[in-house]
Structure formats: structure tokens, C-alpha cells
């Protein structure tokens, strides 16, 4: 059980989501202020029990507020904007965590994951990377935890240590790369939620078709590299029993859930005119609650079961994510307030970025985000801080969609390689290796090849748009 301070913080975080949703529908700044106040209180409580590495972000944020107060007359408005940006990220994270919590306990979803992990070598990588992509749309990096655990479970019975090690590595990187490819396009991914607001003139609807190409390239390149660099075993693997289950019934629960989520989000988006991310915040928790009501209830009835499940989610699961919540909120806050402070300095004393060839600048974004990830800069922080320092897309003569393709592609590469991201940390833990080994040794060549292809694709897209 998490400490009491973290449990109260989890309740406040849940309440902040409820305050953020009306703000997404234009209900007024007061709702944003309430959400910000709730999250500041939650972060203060979470900070009592998180690691020092997380507290360092809080200290930096407080330092930025002091700097802004000492140098800028409009610092309070800028601070409120930064708090709103951080609160938006946490509201989206909380909503998606609710669905992940409901889905990850479903026997049908677990059976779907086990089915993918049981596939024979000839199609296992593709099955797991596509499965990692589909699961990642709903579970975020919980897809790595779920499918990775099932992969470890399926290889644990293998007596040949060499075969077990290679099989587990290939299964884990397939799952990880499938999840990371969702970061290129998914409206439920934090990558899109952070990128669209900082790229002036960009929209998810305008960018999604091009970003889906990036995702397909990532999946295809990973599959090709796995086939080309297949490990040579000292002893041939033993024959495997043929898989008797069919694809359709096993994948149906996941596909039905995806269909319900996606259709509901876009129906609400079209009917209410709310942003896609606002629709996600609204629809996803409702689907999670409906799922709980459909399942067999505990003693006391369905509503009692639902109330208990919501309480458990707030006081245990969100409290357990307190380190991630502090990191995500502060990354968005520091990026927003930091760029507000640095833009005038860059304009007065920094290099003239408008002199850089526009195509070079947009291509560089594919590489800057994963490179900063190697030194501990979360992609949320990197994008929120660095993109506002660049000339606008209109000033560069580049279509905003080209910038979105570059940023989300770089974000996806960081999700495969940065030892400070949750996805790489999870893969390293499941594979029994250090996070830097899982990021660079297992995915280094993949990142170089994929980054080069994505750079070429960005340049082509910028020329077409």
C-alpha cells in the first residue's frame, strides 16, 4: 500500500482530471486554475516519497519561477500557462491509465497477448510488433509490461540458455518497437498531445496520414532487420508444436476495444467540436468504468464494485505512478516556462536560426530528440523547450505537418533508445540487462537505419506539402 501522502495525491490527481475536462470544452479559465491547484497540491504530496532524481525536476521548476518573477512583469500568466500545460499532460495520462487499469486485468486481453507470444519464429516478430502497436494504442507503455511479461513467461520454460536469451531479446524489441511506432501518430499518445500545441498551424487531422507512413516504416524496418540479423544458434532449436488457435477470436477483444475507443473519440470530436485529446479525456474513463460494470461484480453489487475500483485506482495505482506523474508534469512545466524565458534571450543574443536552411532544420529534429534523450532529457521536456525556440513553420516556409512528422519520429526513436524512458527501462528489466544496453545495444542499429529513413521521409513530405 502506498503511503498516505501518495494516496491523497492520487485522489487529487483524479479530481484534477475532472476539472480539466470542462476546460477542454471552453468552460473557462477557472477550471484550469482549479486543476492546476489540485495538481500542485498532489505534486507536493508525491514529492515527499519520490526519488531524488524526480525531486531535481521540482527544484528546477521552482528555480524557473523565481527567475521569471525576478525578470519578467507577466511572469504569473506565464507560470499559469506552464501549470496548465503540465496539468493537461497529467489529465491525459490519468485518463489513459484508467483504461489501462481496466484492460490489463481482462482475461480476454491476457489470452490475446499469450496468443501473440506463442507464434512460431517465422511470424513471431511481426505478430508481437503489430500486437505491441495495437496494445500500445490503449495501454501506452503498459503494453510493454503486459506483453513483455508474457514473453518472459513463454521463454522461461526453455532449457537451452542460448535459445532462451535470443528469443526473449527478439520478442522484447519487437514489442518495444511496436509500441514506439504508436508515438508517430496516435491521438492518445503524449507525443501528439505535446507536439501539436507547440507547432503553430499544426493539427492532428492534417498530420495523421503522413505520420502513419512513419509508423509503417518503423514497423517494416524492424521486421526486416530482425529477419536479416537472425542469430545463429550453436544447437538447432527443437521442433515446436503447431499453433491451433485462430487469429480472429483471439484478437477480437482487442480490436473491439480499439474500435469502441476510436469511434467514440471521433464521434464526440465531431459532434462537440472538442479537440481530439479532450475527447480522449472524456471518453476513455467512461469506457473504463463501463468495462468494470460489465464484469462480474464483487459482493455488494455493481455500483459498489465500481466505487471500490475507482478508489483503488486513485489511491493505489495513481499513487504508485507518483514518480512518473512528477516527471511528466514537471517536464511539461519546465519546457513551457523555460521556453518563455529563453526565447527573448535567443532573439537578442543567440544564433540566427532563420539563416539555417529550413530542410536541414526540420530534418535535424528527427535526431535532436533521441540524442537529448541519451543525456536524460525527457521528450516532453525536449519538445516543449526546444521547439518554441525555433522560427515558426511559416517563417521557415515549411508546412507545419512536416515539423510534426519530424518531431514525432524523433520522439519514437527516443522511446526505443533513451535509457531514461519508461519503455527502455521496462525492456531492460524484463530482459535482465541495463537500460543503456537495451536501448543502444539492442536498438542502436535499428535507430540509425530508421532515423535515416525517417529523415528522408520528412524531406520528401516537406517537399510535397
Q: Where are the domains of the chain?
A: 4-227+247-464
* Confidence (pLDDT) at 3: 92
* Confidence (pLDDT) at 243: 58
Instruction: Using CB atoms within 10 Å of the CB of residue 12, give its burial: 0 to 12 exposed, 13 to 18 middle, 19+ buried.
Output: buried
* Confidence (pLDDT) at 403: 96
* Confidence (pLDDT) at 235: 64
* Confidence (pLDDT) at 240: 62
Q: How far is CA 263 from CA 68, 157, 271, 280, in A?
A: 43, 40, 12, 11
Q: 102 is written with which cell numbers?
A: 481496466
Start-to-end CA span in the chain (Å):
53
Nearest to 6 by CA among 370, 326, 238, 297: 326
User: How far is residue 410's CA from residue 194's CA, in Å, rounded to a whole number?
Assistant: 13
User: How far is residue 222's CA from residue 297's CA, in Å, rounded to a whole number?
Assistant: 42
- For residues 408 and 195, the answer to whether their CB atoms sit within 8 Å is yes
User: How far is residue 152's CA from residue 382's CA, in Å, rounded to a whole number?
Assistant: 33
Compute mean pLDDT per 10 residues along the chain, 465 residues long, and list them.
93 96 90 95 95 92 96 94 94 90 81 85 87 89 85 79 86 95 93 93 93 97 92 65 69 89 91 90 92 80 88 93 93 94 84 85 95 92 92 90 97 95 90 92 96 97 91
- For residues 191 and 405, the answer to whether their CB atoms sit within 8 Å is no
User: How far is residue 317's CA from residue 308's CA, in Å, rounded to a whole number?
Assistant: 13
* Confidence (pLDDT) at 242: 56
* Confidence (pLDDT) at 59: 95
Query: How many other CB atoms sit within 10 Å of the CB of residue 354?
Result: 12
Residue 186's SS3 state is coil
Nearest to 46 by CA among 251, 246, 330, 294: 330
* Confidence (pLDDT) at 226: 93
Amino acid at each position: 500500500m502506498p503511503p498516505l501522502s501518495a494516496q491523497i495525491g492520487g485522489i487529487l490527481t483524479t479530481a484534477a482530471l475532472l476539472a480539466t475536462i470542462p476546460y477542454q470544452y471552453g468552460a473557462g479559465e477557472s477550471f484550469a486554475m482549479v486543476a492546476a491547484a489540485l495538481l500542485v497540491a498532489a505534486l507536493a504530496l508525491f514529492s515527499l516519497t519520490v526519488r531524488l532524481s524526480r525531486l531535481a525536476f521540482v527544484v528546477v521548476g521552482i528555480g524557473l519561477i523565481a527567475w521569471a518573477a525576478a525578470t519578467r512583469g507577466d511572469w504569473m500568466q506565464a507560470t499559469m500557462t506552464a501549470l496548465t500545460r503540465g496539468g493537461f499532460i497529467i489529465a491525459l495520462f490519468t485518463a489513459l491509465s484508467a483504461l489501462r487499469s481496466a484492460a490489463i486485468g481482462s482475461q480476454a486481453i491476457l489470452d490475446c497477448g499469450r496468443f501473440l507470444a506463442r507464434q512460431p519464429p517465422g511470424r513471431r516478430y511481426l505478430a508481437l510488433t503489430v500486437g505491441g502497436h495495437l496494445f500500445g494504442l490503449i495501454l501506452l507503455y503498459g503494453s510493454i509490461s503486459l506483453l513483455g511479461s508474457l514473453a518472459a513467461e513463454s521463454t522461461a520454460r526453455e532449457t537451452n540458455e542460448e535459445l532462451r536469451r535470443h528469443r526473449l531479446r527478439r520478442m522484447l524489441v519487437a514489442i518495444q518497437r511496436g509500441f514506439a511506432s504508436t508515438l508517430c501518430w496516435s491521438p492518445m499518445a503524449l507525443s501528439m498531445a505535446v507536439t501539436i500545441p507547440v507547432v503553430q498551424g499544426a493539427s492532428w487531422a492534417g498530420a495523421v496520414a503522413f505520420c502513419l507512413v512513419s509508423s509503417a516504416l518503423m514497423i517494416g524496418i524492424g521486421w526486416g532487420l530482425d529477419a536479416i540479423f537472425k542469430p545463429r544458434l550453436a544447437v538447432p532449436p527443437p521442433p515446436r508444436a503447431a499453433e491451433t488457435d485462430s487469429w480472429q477470436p483471439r484478437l477480437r477483444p482487442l480490436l473491439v476495444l480499439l474500435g469502441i475507443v476510436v469511434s467514440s473519440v471521433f464521434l464526440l470530436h465531431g459532434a462537440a467540436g472538442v479537440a481530439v485529446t479532450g475527447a480522449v479525456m472524456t471518453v476513455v474513463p467512461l469506457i473504463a468504468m463501463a468495462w468494470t460494470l460489465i464484469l462480474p461484480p464483487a459482493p455488494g453489487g455493481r455500483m459498489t464494485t465500481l466505487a471500490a475500483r475507482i478508489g483503488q485506482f486513485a489511491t493505489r495505482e495513481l499513487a504508485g505512478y507518483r514518480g512518473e506523474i512528477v516527471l511528466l508534469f514537471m517536464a511539461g512545466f519546465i519546457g513551457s516556462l523555460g521556453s518563455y524565458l529563453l526565447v527573448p534571450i535567443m532573439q537578442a543574443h543567440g544564433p540566427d536560426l532563420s539563416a539555417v536552411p529550413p530542410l536541414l532544420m526540420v530534418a535535424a529534429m528527427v535526431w535532436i530528440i533521441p540524442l537529448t534523450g541519451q543525456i536524460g532529457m525527457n521528450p516532453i521536456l525536449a519538445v516543449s523547450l526546444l521547439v518554441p525556440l525555433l522560427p515558426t513553420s511559416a517563417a521557415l516556409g515549411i508546412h507545419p505537418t512536416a515539423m510534426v512528422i519530424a518531431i514525432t519520429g524523433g520522439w519514437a526513436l527516443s522511446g526505443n533508445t533513451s535509457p531514461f524512458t519508461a519503455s527502455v527501462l521496462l525492456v531492460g528489466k524484463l530482459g535482465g540487462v541495463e537500460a543503456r544496453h537495451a536501448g543502444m545495444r539492442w536498438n542502436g542499429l535499428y535507430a540509425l537505419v530508421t532515423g535515416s529513413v525517417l529523415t528522408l521521409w520528412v524531406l520528401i513530405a516537406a517537399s510535397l506539402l
